[in-house]
Chain A
Amino acid sequence: GENVEQHPSTLSVQEGDSAVIKCTYSDSASNYFPWYKQELGKGPQLIIDIRSNVGEKKDQRIAVTLNKTAKHFSLHITETQPEDSAVYFCAASRGTGGFKTIFGAGTRLFVKA
């Protein structure tokens, strides 16, 4: 079945450094790729998304890149801050059918002050 692989599972960076999380998807029909941030004891919150007709998208310190040929997409966080510490999930979905979203396993990001 469809699968999304996410790496690394844990990432520790110093405040001010950049963090990069990478995902690979298997379903070539996927055309929508959201990223979610989940803080402890809360539900995931959308932080950025990208559609398959776009190669890169940026929102302040957060950017996402998509390589459709390789079926890779990545999240880049620059100038990390302690409040960026959380679990990040990538996801992939099709625009048709039952709107099923496939999630990666998650990356636990620690930003050390």
Chain B
Amino acid sequence: GAVVSQHPSRVICKSGTSVKIECRSLDFQATTMFWYRQFPKQSLMLMATSNEGSKATYEQGVEKDKFLINHASLTLSTLTVTSAHPEDSSFYICSAKVAARVNSPLHFGNGTRLTVT
């Protein structure tokens, strides 16, 4: 149980275009989802916390107008990288917890490798 599906797994786009990444909880409801960015050989950097039905909470230094997050249902959150540039190329990973259960693990998607040319 507790499967998180992330799509697409890989995407290549041209500079200046926008890319949408979807994160779905397949067998549980997730009121909160998290979006991370991971650079090669580095740890997970939390970008934002996505709350169902309300605005996302962004970490310091993350541009909310650049990384648009929408959490319209209890099973779907999307991250849109707007006007992408080569420096946005990275591995983006989403995660979710089962509802509001405390002291429970994060369930991660398999990530999206974004390459901006």
Contact = CB atoms under 8 A, between A and B. Distances in A.
Nearest to B10: A41
B108 A31 contact: no
Interface of B: 4, 6, 32, 34, 41-44, 46, 49, 57, 93, 95, 97, 102-111, 113
Given A43-B93, A46-B105, A99-B97, A89 B43 contact: yes
Nearest to A49: B105
Contacts of B104: 32
Contact of A41 (B102, B106, B113): B113
A61 interface: no
Contacts of A41: 110-111, 113
Q: Which of B46, B97, B104 gathers the greatest number of chain A CB atoms within 10 Å?
A: B104
B103 A42 contact: no
Contacts, number: 56
Contacts of B32: 99
Interface of A: 31-32, 34, 36, 41-46, 49, 51, 89, 93, 95-96, 98-101, 103-106, 108
A43 B34 CA distance: 13
B103 A51 contact: yes
A31 B44 contact: no
A103 B108 CA distance: 14
7 contacts: A34-B105, A41-B110, A41-B111, A98-B49, A100-B46, A101-B46, A103-B43
Contact of A42 (B43, B102, B110): B110
A67 to B, nearest CB: 18
Q: Which of B41, B42, B106, B110 gathers the greatest number of chain A CB atoms within 10 Å?
A: B106
B43 A44 contact: no
A99 B11 CA distance: 30
